Amino acid sequence: MAPATAPGAALADASPPALLVRGLSHLYRSPAGDVAALDSAALAVGAGEFVALVGPSGCGKTTLLRIAAGLLAPRPQPGDAAPTVELFGASPDAARRGRWIGLVAQEPGLLPWLTVERNVRLAAELAGVRADVPALLERVGIAEFALHHPAELSGGMRQRVALARALAHAPRLLLMDEPLGALDELSREALRLELLALWERDRVSVLFVTHSIREAVLLADRVFVMGERPGRVLAELDVALPRPRGEELVATPAFVGLESEVRAALGRRGAPA
């Protein structure tokens, strides 16, 4: 287990990482007193790397992701040094303006008045690029629902649409915030395998926020473990499992060993995967 103080140190001499976060603290203001959501959080996502961020609910994972996406400005503790948040060496705002980010959240956030096809096309239109929408829908397995509206789809289908929409403008970094979190267990397993296959073909850089240890180990090249209140990165683990990976991997000793390492880092032994 590498120390949390130097995440992504191995990448230091390469081209700028897809995401580099150092010394990131964030205070939420509240009438009852400020709440520290993040405390000197640090992590890195190398170019073409799939990185999972695991932590208990409310540990600040979503806050970190929203700051990285340029949706939230960090508000450090008074007196703290300014944090580093860089995407490919640029600021989150610059990354957003360059349309480098693809966002998938727990809620699909589809526009209910648009068809599946128009929902996906919307992202490309806003980014000002052409997109082969039928091919995108084909890739996420919902081509036959192109003309349906979101209300006619299951939760798993809607997340597929959200994924296709996030890929529509060919982003450089996918930010995924518990994308499978609202799904039932069966759709969840099916979708994470498809996500795995999809990513292993394209190798776009991914930061994948989850509270599922199994999901993190199965999908990621590297796992960062976050602790609770205030959120700080406790550990960084390399997942040296061969690719392509499949569901059969979860029964292997190596996988189970990694799972328990993550669980130990989270400090809650025996929690469900």
Partner 1 sequence: MSGEHRPADPSAARARRLSDAAALVTAAAPPVLALAVLVAVWEAWVRLGQVREYLLPPPSAVGAALVDEPGRYATAAAETAAAAAGGLVLATVAAMLLAVAMAHSRAVERALYPPALLLKLTPIVAVYPLFTIWFGFGLWPKMLVAALITFFPTLVNAVVGLRSVDPAALDLLRSLDASPPQILMRLRLPSALPYLFAALRISVPLALIGAVVAEFLSGDGGMGQLILIANGDLDTATLFAAVVVLVALGVLLTGLLAYSERRVLFWHASTGDM
- Size of interface with partner 1, in residues (CB under 8 A): 33
Task: Check binding of 147 to partner 1 (CB under 8 A).
Answer: yes
Task: Check binding of 123 to partner 1 (CB under 8 A).
Answer: yes
Among 10, 12, 126, 271, binds partner 1 (CB under 8 A): 126
> Helix and strand tally (H, E) in the chain?
8, 9
Q: Residue 35: left (phi > 0), alpha (psi -120 to 50), or beta?
A: beta
Residue 182 amino acid letter: A
What angle do the packed helices 185-202 and 155-167 form, to 10 degrees?
20
Q: Which helix (H) or strand (E) holds 40?
A: strand 35-45
**Cβ nearer to partner 1, comparing 55 with 102:** 102
Q: Which of 106, 167, 117 is nearest to 146 (CA)?
A: 117
**Cβ nearer to partner 1, comparing 40 with 159:** 159
**Cβ nearer to partner 1, comparing 95 with 218:** 95
The Cα 235–Cα 266 span in angstroms is 9
Q: Shortest distance, CB of residue 93 to partner 1, whole angstroms? A: 9
Among 77, 80, 90, 99, binds partner 1 (CB under 8 A): 99
Q: Shortest distance, CB of residue 155 to partner 1, whole angstroms? A: 13
Q: Which of 130, 134, 135, 139 is nearest to 115 (CA)?
A: 134
Q: Shortest distance, CB of residue 105 to partner 1, whole angstroms? A: 5
Q: What is the bridge-based pairing of β-strands 232-238 and 222-227?
A: antiparallel
**Cβ nearer to partner 1, comparing 45 with 217:** 45
Q: Are 18 and 47 in contact (CB under 8 A)?
A: yes
Where in 157-176 is the site for partner 1 (CB under 8 A)?
Answer: 165, 169, 175
Task: Check binding of 46 to partner 1 (CB under 8 A).
Answer: no
Read off the tokens for 270.
């025996």
**Cβ nearer to partner 1, comparing 105 with 204:** 105
* Binding residues vs partner 1 (CB under 8 A): 66, 69-71, 96-97, 99, 101-103, 105-113, 115, 122-123, 126-127, 147-152, 165, 169, 175
